[in-house]
Amino acid sequence: MSDDTQPNQDPAESPDSDAQAGVPTRRRVLAMGAVTAGAVVSIRPALAQTAGSVLNCEIPVPDPGRAGSYIDANGGVVPARTKGAFPPSTRAFKGEEVKRAMASGSTLPGTDSDRSRAYVKYIRRLQRGQGGFTCFASLQMPRG
């Protein structure tokens, strides 16, 4: 930035002459504030977009690597047609649906309460490398 004094003005006569060397002038502080405000304006839409994409991400139950397997009452993956276990979901669940079910105990769409509980337990046990893990991990991140 340039000096805040006028071309023919003595620095000792500037409006901020009582400011010590190295202390920003009022004009510089205002300019820095304007730059900061611009950064906030450009960051907020990006955060909003990220939050929206998290709610629209999908979690398959079970993940594609174990398609056709059933989910037992404890959220474990078991062979197809295991007695007492639930068939795989016919569709992946949106992040928003999973978040709501985990927070309030409501059922996932298209499921009854027992199946939904089993699916939510499965989702809570997802690990890195499994389909839906990144979406689930994103739901766990606090939003500001």
Q: Mean pLDDT for the chain?
A: 79
Q: How confident is the model at residue 25 (pLDDT cuts 50, 70, 90)?
A: confident
Within 8 A by CB and 6+ apart from 27, the residues are 4, 16
Q: Which two tokens stand for residue 80?
A: 């197809």
DSSP assignment of 86-128 equals BPPPSSPEEHHHHHHHHHH-PPPTT--HHHHHHHHHHHHT--T
Segments in 1-144 forming alpha helices (H): 26-56, 95-104, 113-124, 133-140
Give the model confidence (pLDDT) of 96-136 as tens digits: 999 999 999 899 999 999 999 999 999 999 999 999 999 99
Instruction: Tell me the pLDDT band of 26, cut-offs 50, 70 and 90.
Output: confident
**pLDDT tens figures, 58-96:** 999 999 989 999 999 999 999 999 999 999 999 999 999
